[in-house]
Amino acid sequence: MARLIGLVKPLVGFMVLAVVMGLAGHLCASSITIFGSYAVLGLLGFDTPLGLKAMFASVVLFAVLRAALRYAEQSCNHFIAFKLLALIRDQVFLALRKLCPAKLEGRDKGDLISVITSDIELLEVFYAHTISPAAIAFFYTVVMCLFIGSFHPAMGILALLAYLAVGIIIPLITSRLSSRDGMEFRTGSGDLSGFVLDSLRGLSETIQYSRGRERLIQMNDRTDALSETEKRMKRTAGRNMAVTNTAILLFDLCMLLVSAMLYQSGKVDFAGVLVPVIALFSSFGPAVALANLGSTLQNTFAAGNRVLDILDEIPAVLEVAGREKTAFEGAAAKNVSFSYRAESILEGVSLEIPKGQVIGIVGKSGSGKSTLLKLFMRFWDAGNGSVEISGRDISGINTADLRDMESFMTQETHLFHDSIRSNLRIAKLSATDAEIEAACRKASIHDFIMGLPQGYDTPVGELGDTLSGGERQRLGLARAFLHDAPFLLLDEPTSNLDSLNEAVILKSLREGQDGKTVLLVSHRQSTMRVADTVYSVEDLSRTGGRVS
């Protein structure tokens, strides 16, 4: 909770303003009934601080002020909440960018979507309806206890016990009872989001193998389990409300009894009975607001913990900035070892990549070919040994320089739900139409694009599902060409292409090399004909691995 409160620091001025307006608003609301009790005393012939006309005018004024202050308080609280949600989302996306790809590879994307949408949205309850109400309740309790206690200390103490019981003790007990349910509900909600996303992506396979009924049963089971958790939380909330209302009634009766006893003993007059009792009756608003949070805060705190877990997670690779700029003069891996958790992938790999050459890497599936390319991109740091560019370990090269020097094409090309032109411009935001066209011609995709209804402005479906695997792959290769970096890392660039398109692309790669250095991974022997030297990744650590 302290971490969540600490995020309010940039907007502390607005929070103070909300507390002041909220406190004034609640005091105006209580003053309506208190002045009303004084008006009754005036009608009965007792002395009052003000005349009847002045008191009735004051009641009208308090009613108007109460409405205005309530509106202003809520506006201020929601401004704080939504502004903070925007800041938190910005921090979360920044954290995800730093964690990617090492810490996010294999992570449930549906659960991540749940965190950055519904979990962050839940924090609105905390920032709009928790922090300022708690502060308001504290100051309001102090004022009301002093006011009621001015008639007799025993009444002030009883009022304090009432506020503490309703605003703190009952919510804490309720919060403890629902703590496990809150985290279980948020985790289950994230799991369900992941399951639904997975089901949508695999819909064609589900239909093909007639597994729709089984998938639906699993989804219903997960939904039912989530509903059961929510039912327990609602039941706890209902009990909390019942206990709160009962406690308020009991404390009201206690105040009536205590004031009557004090009146009988002559320690207070009739005003000392009527005013404190009515004041207590009408003053539980801030405490009840806290009491109602008891059953919902655990859900909110569970969401907050999931958000903070992302913000607190340490990236596997820290970005580098402020170092001397590096120009590309070749690359090398020296005695490199790397493991995914406990699974060893590369052991003692050494490889020289001279500037201006095409170096091919072959090997069986799972031998570490793609991993080697990712180490050159510094998506991970090598466990042992060093990965170097221009004779410098890449852990000491500015990350921005490293990205400028390298173009990386992965096996699976990700396309955003946007136009082809926008998808290509990711590689170079300032690219002209002529540069985009030239890159697409190299990737043997220009003629296909021009045959589409809107040409380069044709939208692609989600994940590029309106295109074939080969078309997506050629767009990925066009991106790599458009980035125009001196070091190209190509991971299976022709695996989804027919022999004709493969030949066109390899010819473009060789003719358009222009002094660029290429590290090419492929299982196709035909692709490796373009390479100056070919290495086998399984043998790199033992014999140098040269194949041709």
Q: Provide the strand spans (E) within 32-106.
A: none
> Which of 1.20.1560.10, 3.30.60.50, 2.60.120.1600, 3.30.470.10 is the CATH number of 2-312?
1.20.1560.10
Give the chain's mean pLDDT.
84
Tokens of 336: 């490199």
* Residue pair 508/443 in contact by the 8 Å Cβ criterion: yes
pLDDT at 487: 92
Alpha-carbon distance values, 236 to 146, 179, 185, 308 (Å): 34, 11, 14, 26
pLDDT at 545: 45
Q: Is the pLDDT of residue 144 over 90?
A: yes
pLDDT at 464: 66
DSSP state of 354: -
Q: Is the pLDDT of residue 544 over 60?
A: no
In the block, tokens 């090997």 appear at 363
- Confidence band (pLDDT; 50, 70, 90) for 538? confident
> Which of 3.40.50.1820, 3.40.630.10, 3.40.50.300, 3.20.20.70 is the CATH number of 331-536?
3.40.50.300
**Average pLDDT, integer, range 110-114:** 74
pLDDT at 546: 43
Q: Is the pLDDT of residue 175 over 80?
A: no
Beta bridge partners of 386: 334
The radius of gyration of the chain from alpha carbons, rounded to an integer in Å, stands at 34
Q: Which residues of 314-327 are buried (b: 16+ CB within 10 A; e: fewer)?
A: eebbeebeeeeebe
**Averaging pLDDT over each range in 169-183, 314-328, 527-541, which range is the top one?**
314-328
pLDDT at 146: 94
DSSP state of 324: P
Please name which of 318, 334, 320 lies closest in space to residue 397, comparing C-alpha atoms.
Answer: 320
pLDDT at 122: 76
Q: Please give the share of the chain, as a percent, with pLDDT higher than 90.
A: 20
Distance from C-alpha of 366 to C-alpha of 369, rounded to nearest angstrom: 8
What is the β-pairing status of strands 384-389 and 392-393?
antiparallel
- The model's pTM: 0.66
Question: Looking at 134-138, 184-188, 238-242, which range is the least confident one?
Answer: 184-188
Q: Is the pLDDT of residue 1 over 80?
A: no
- Confidence band (pLDDT; 50, 70, 90) for 169? confident
Q: Is the pLDDT of residue 287 over 50?
A: yes
pLDDT at 463: 64
**Average pLDDT, integer, range 445-463:** 87
**Average pLDDT, integer, range 16-30:** 91
Tokens of 93: 């996306």
**Average pLDDT, integer, range 73-79:** 87
Q: Provide the strand spans (E) within 300-394.
A: 331-340, 343-353, 358-362, 384-389, 392-393
pLDDT at 456: 92
Please name which of 489, 493, 478 lies closest in space to residue 523, comparing C-alpha atoms.
Answer: 493
Distance from C-alpha of 332 to C-alpha of 388, rounded to nearest angstrom: 5
- Per-residue pLDDT tens for 212-227? 888 888 888 888 888 8
* Residue pair 349/337 in contact by the 8 Å Cβ criterion: yes
The residue extents of the domains of the chain are 2-312, 331-536
- Confidence band (pLDDT; 50, 70, 90) for 412? confident
**Average pLDDT, integer, range 124-148:** 85
- Confidence band (pLDDT; 50, 70, 90) for 543? very low
Question: Looking at 43-47, 97-101, 343-347, 463-467, which range is the least confident one?
Answer: 463-467
Q: Is the dihedral of CA 188, 194, 200, 206 positive or negative?
A: negative
- Confidence band (pLDDT; 50, 70, 90) for 160? very high
pLDDT at 179: 64
In the block, tokens 């510094």 appear at 378
pLDDT at 432: 92
How many CB atoms are closer than 10 A to CB 425? 18
Beta bridge partners of 353: 331
* Residue pair 83/6 in contact by the 8 Å Cβ criterion: no
Distance from C-alpha of 217 to C-alpha of 421, rounded to nearest angstrom: 42
**Average pLDDT, integer, range 362-378:** 86
Angle, in degrees to the nearest 10, between helices 12-43 and 271-281: 140
Angle, in degrees to the nearest 10, between helices 52-99 and 131-149: 150
Please name which of 293, 388, 339, 361 lies closest in space to residue 531, comparing C-alpha atoms.
Answer: 361
In the block, tokens 């307006």 appear at 21
The values of phi and psi at residue 36, to 5°, are -65, -40
CB within 8 A of 489, min separation 6: which ones?
A: 373, 376, 377, 406, 407, 408, 409, 518, 519
